[in-house]
């Protein structure tokens, strides 16, 4: 029973002032509170009888016992149901034997009607407040879900895994048995989360989802607002034969800026609940968010691949100038990435090294072809021009913000561990790690491939030259790692294919 | 209606609708619920009603939720109870002071009422085992 403390006090006071005892019992006859006046056993039994009658007949009852005690009962209704009985009995006799002053029964009926009305009012306002609180609680759930989803999709690179998480959240919060994203042209984003119970009912889930979407009539009015609802499949044309058990289905369009990606939807076999307005609106905004991030993610990817292609073009430009270094950048890149695997570099660091190694010789674009392809020994002046290529490369790439972290690797890839390199003569650990890695890979490839001024040396011989230079030209730790890479990966490739130039750029 | 055995939860929030939402959710779950409309009243009720769990907002008139936690932390030595702090944003600083309090947990706004109830259920379950 709900909170009726106020009435308890009120009825207790009334019982004090008037020669009447009020009490309040539930439909099982249990007295929940009573006006504190002693009543005789017959009276108390009589009240029980009255209570029972009121509950059965659902109306005001009056009973007189022992020819003098007047007993009254009035039902308390809540949503048309008797939830309790307000009873009253005359107590005048207990104190004053001389004269019974009986209230006419209809007066008592009026009084009890008013009291019952007050209690019913209180009950229904409590009900209403509780219903409102529940509704508010549901809005809180929606808000919470929305906040979680907003955090999840607030990422530049949207991934199919994120959609799975999103569907998991939707499944739990909306108490449905199936939540899915269906994008016919972007099937990498297709996602389906179900509860165990539905797996038993639907074996061919993807076919089922496709059927759900295909059955949406193209002229359905709700489609103007980008959604479609089936509250009971057994009563919706096109959906009757999809499953022998009736289900409900809500689908919303994943759409942004006129671009349509697919559908976000949910299915439940629980027909006791329906899709609420709030849920529908929530799902529509979630679908919009999803479309927005997919669209942003696409844009970001386009931009990224544009930068990648620009960089590739730069590499091809140098290689077009210098016939001998064709494939050099790719081989150095490959060797660096193999070394990175042994260096515990994270994905971000690997990405930085990737670009630094591919682009390390971009500065040679500014070196005359006559010098690059010169078969004889270079003059001091020509050598100075060659030595300028790391700085030129650095300057060429400076405007590309995305490559900012890779620039030190390019600028310093001709520094020597003993400090006798160029352009700055950095020493030991002063040289950025990426530059130290590139130095090893770059030199190895230069020795083991054909150059204008000499022929190629076999890999083993090149390795020995590198090992001899550990500590002077190269970081000794990295030389060790290079040796491992050489034995595990490079030597095999050399045996398989004697023309290492055939390795192609992968990115 | 065996409310005598039901755990007693004190809900402290200056926002009446939020108070009501939590109250209804907890009552429907079978808990006995008392509510306080600010930190000072909350503090008084912690002493007078000895609740088994407290749900409190942070920014409130008269006495803030974090101050309330510090003031009542010592009580938990003798009589442990859960304090669930609802906050607008979980910051590292907030995490730091909450960690120093006994039996105190954070929940971020907008919170899910269902999860709040689960969280309290879980605390009593841990306690009884």
CA atoms within 13 A on the CB side of A6: 9
Please, which residues bridge with residue A34 across strands? A23
pLDDT for A417 equals 95
Ordered by where they begin, the domains of chain A are: 4-127 (3.30.450.40), 154-298 (3.30.450.40), 322-505 (1.10.3210.10)
Question: Under DSSP, is residue A322 helix (H, G, I), strand (E, B) or coil?
Answer: coil
* pLDDT score for A395: 93
Residues of chain A with pLDDT under 50: 1, 97-99, 497-507
Nearest CA in chain B to A148: B110
pLDDT of amino acid B34: 93
Helices assigned H by DSSP within A73-186: 92-95, 105-153, 160-173
For B45-63, what is each residue's pLDDT tens digit?
999 998 999 999 988 888 8
Which of A134, A141, A173 lies nearest to residue B24, judging by beta carbons? A134
| Whole-angstrom distance, CA of residue A305 vs CA of residue A314 | 14
Cβ–Cβ contact B16 with A under 8 A: no
Residues 6+ apart with CB under 8 A from A61: A50, A53, A54, A72, A73
Three-state DSSP at B86 gives strand
Q: Is A453 on the interface with B (CB under 8 A)?
A: no
Backbone torsions φ then ψ of A71, nearest 5 degrees: -120, 140
User: Is some CB atom of chain A closer than 8 A to the CB atom of B122?
Assistant: no
Best mutation target among A4, A125, A144 (most B Cβ atoms within 10 Å) is: A144
Q: What is the pLDDT of residue A505?
A: 42
pLDDT given at position A205 = 81
- Which of B128, B76, B84, B78 lies closest to B104, judged by CA? B84
Q: How far is B21 from chain A (nearest CA, A)?
A: 5
Give A25's contacts in chain B (Cβ within 8 Å).
none
Tokens 């083991």 correspond to: A448
Three-class SS string for A274-320?
Answer: CCCHHHHHHHHHHHHHHHHHHHHHHHHHHHHHHHHHHHHHHHHHHHH
Distances (CA, A) of A43 to A38, A47, A105, A107, A458: 10, 6, 17, 20, 117
Q: How confident is the model over B84-113, as a mean pLDDT?
A: 85
The answer to whether A6 contacts chain B (CB < 8 Å) is no
pLDDT tens digits, residue range B11-29? 999 988 889 889 988 988 8
pTM of the model: 0.56
Each residue of A187-200: b (16+ CB within 10 Å) or e? eebbbbbbeeebee
Q: What is the pLDDT of residue A218?
A: 87
* Residue pLDDT, tens place only, A124-166: 888 788 888 888 888 888 888 888 777 766 665 677 888 888 8
Q: What is residue A473's predicted lDDT score, i.e. its pLDDT?
A: 95
Q: Which residues contact A429 (CB under 8 A, 6 or more apart)?
A: none
The pLDDT value given to residue B17:
86
Helix or strand or coil: residue B47? helix
Label residue B1 by pLDDT band (50, 70, 90). Answer: very low
Q: How many residues does chain A have?
A: 507
């Amino acid at each position: 029973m709900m909170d009726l403390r106020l009435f308890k006090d009120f009825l207790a006071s009334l019982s004090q002032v008037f020669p009447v005892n009020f009490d309040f019992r539930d439909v099982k006859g249990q007295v929940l509170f009573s006006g504190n006046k002693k009543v005789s056993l017959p009276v108390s039994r009589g009240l029980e009888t009255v209570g029972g009658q009121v509950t059965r007949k659902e109306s005001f009852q009056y009973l007189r016992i022992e020819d003098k005690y007047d007993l009254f009962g009035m039902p308390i209704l809540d949503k048309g149901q008797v939830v309790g009985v307000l009873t009253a009995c005359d107590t005048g006799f207990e104190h004053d034997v001389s004269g019974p002053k009986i209230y006419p029964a209809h007066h008592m009926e009026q009084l009890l009607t008013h009291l019952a009305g007050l209690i019913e009012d209180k009950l229904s306002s409590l009900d209403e407040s509780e219903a409102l609180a529940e509704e508010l609680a549901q809005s809180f759930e929606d808000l919470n879900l929305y906040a979680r989803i907003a955090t999840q999709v607030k990422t530049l690179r949207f991934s199919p895994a994120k959609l799975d998480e999103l569907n998991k959240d939707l499944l739990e919060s909306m108490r449905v048995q199936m939540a899915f994203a269906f994008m016919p042209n972007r099937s990498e984003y297709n996602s389906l989360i179900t509860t165990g119970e539905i797996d038993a009912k639907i074996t061919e889930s993807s076919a089922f989802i496709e059927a759900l979407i295909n059955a949406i009539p193209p002229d359905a009015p709700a489609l103007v607002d980008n959604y479609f609802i089936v509250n009971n499949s057994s009563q919706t044309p096109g959906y009757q034969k999809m499953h022998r058990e009736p289900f409900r289905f809500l689908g919303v369009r994943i759409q942004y800026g006129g671009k349509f990606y697919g559908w976000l939807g949910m299915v439940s076999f629980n027909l006791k609940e329906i899709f609420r307005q709030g849920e529908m609106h929530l799902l529509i905004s979630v679908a919009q968010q999803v479309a927005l991030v997919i669209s942003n993610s696409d844009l970001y990817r386009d931009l990224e691949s544009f930068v990648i292609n620009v960089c590739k073009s730069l590499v091809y430009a140098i290689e077009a100038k210098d016939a001998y270094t064709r494939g050099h950048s790719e081989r150095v890149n490959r060797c660096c990435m193999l070394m990175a695997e042994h260096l515990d570099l994270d994905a971000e660091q690997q990405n930085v090294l990737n670009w630094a190694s591919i682009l390390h010789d971009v500065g040679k674009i500014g070196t005359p072809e006559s010098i690059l392809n010169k078969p004889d020994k270079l003059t001091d002046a020509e050598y100075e021009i060659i030595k300028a290529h790391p700085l030129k490369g650095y300057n060429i790439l400076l405007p590309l913000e995305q490559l900012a972290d890779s620039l030190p690797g390019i600028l310093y890839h001709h520094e020597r561990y003993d400090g006798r390199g160029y352009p700055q003569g950095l020493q030991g650990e002063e040289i950025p790690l990426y530059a130290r890695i590139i130095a090893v890979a770059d030199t190895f490839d230069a020795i083991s491939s054909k150059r204008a001024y000499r022929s190629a040396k076999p890999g083993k011989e090149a390795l020995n030259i590198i090992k001899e230079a550990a500590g002077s030209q190269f970081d000794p730790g990295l030389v060790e790692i290079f040796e491992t890479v050489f034995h595990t990966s490079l030597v095999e490739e050399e045996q398989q294919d004697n023309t290492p130039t055939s390795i192609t750029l992968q990115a | 209606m065996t409310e005598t055995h039901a755990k007693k939860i004190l809900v402290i929030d200056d926002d009446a609708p939020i108070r009501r939402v939590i109250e209804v959710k907890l009552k429907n779950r079978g808990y006995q619920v008392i509510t306080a409309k600010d930190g000072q009243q909350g503090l008084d009720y912690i002493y007078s009603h000895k609740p088994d769990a407290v749900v409190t907002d942070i920014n409130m008139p008269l006495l803030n939720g974090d101050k309330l936690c510090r003031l009542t932390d010592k009580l938990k030595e003798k009589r442990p109870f859960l304090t669930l702090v609802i906050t607008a944003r979980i910051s590292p600083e907030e995490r730091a002071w909450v960690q120093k309090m006994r039996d105190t947990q954070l929940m971020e706004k907008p919170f899910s009422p269902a999860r709040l109830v689960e969280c309290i259920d879980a605390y009593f379950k841990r306690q009884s085992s």
